[in-house]
Amino acid sequence: MELAFAKLDGLIPAVIQDHATREVLMLGFLNPEALEYTQLTGEVHFFSRTRQRLWKKGETSGHVLRVRQLLFDCDADSLLIRVEAVGPGVCHQGYQSCFFRELELDGTSHIVAERAFAVEEVYGKKGTQ
Amino acid sequence: MELAFAKLDGLIPAVIQDHATREVLMLGFLNPEALEYTQLTGEVHFFSRTRQRLWKKGETSGHVLRVRQLLFDCDADSLLIRVEAVGPGVCHQGYQSCFFRELELDGTSHIVAERAFAVEEVYGKKGTQ
pLDDT at B127 over 80: no
pLDDT at B1 over 80: no
pTM over 0.80: yes
How far is the alpha carbon of A13 from chain B, nearest alpha carbon, in Å?
8
What pLDDT is stored for residue A41 in this prediction? Answer: 96
The Cα–Cα gap between A115 and A93 comes to: 8
Interface test with B, best of A40, A71, A100, A104 (most B CBs within 10 A): A71
Judge whether A17 and B27 are in contact, CB under 8 Å: no
What pLDDT is stored for residue B123 in this prediction? Answer: 86
pLDDT in tens, B9-43: 999 999 999 999 999 999 999 999 999 999 999 99
pLDDT in tens, B29-79: 999 999 999 999 999 999 999 899 999 999 999 999 999 999 999 999 999
The DSSP-derived string for B75-102 is: TS--EEEEEEEPSS-S-TTSBSSS--EE
The Cα–Cα gap between B97 and B45 comes to: 17
Report the complex ipTM. Answer: 0.94
What pLDDT is stored for residue A125 in this prediction? Answer: 63
The Cα–Cα gap between A96 and A114 comes to: 8
What pLDDT is stored for residue B31 in this prediction? Answer: 98
pLDDT at B107 over 90: no
Q: Tell me which of A99-103, A107-111, B108-112, B123-127 is least confident.
A: B123-127
Judge whether B67 and B4 are in contact, CB under 8 Å: no
Secondary element (H or E) of residue B120: helix B119-123
What pLDDT is stored for residue A128 in this prediction? Answer: 52
What pLDDT is stored for residue B105 in this prediction? Answer: 83
The Cα–Cα gap between B39 and B25 comes to: 19
CA of B75: which chain A residue's CA is closest? A98
Region B98-113: mean pLDDT is 94
The Cα–Cα gap between A77 and B74 comes to: 23
The Cα–Cα gap between A77 and A4 comes to: 5
Can you list the residues of chain A whose pLDDT is less than 50? 127
- Give me the phi and psi of A86, to 5 degrees please: -80, 130
CA of B94: which chain A residue's CA is closest? A74
Q: Which residues of A touch B (CB under 8 A)?
A: 1, 3, 7-8, 13, 15, 17, 21-24, 26-27, 39, 49, 69-75, 78-80, 91-93, 95, 98-103, 105, 107-109, 112
Interface test with B, best of A78, A83, A90 (most B CBs within 10 A): A78
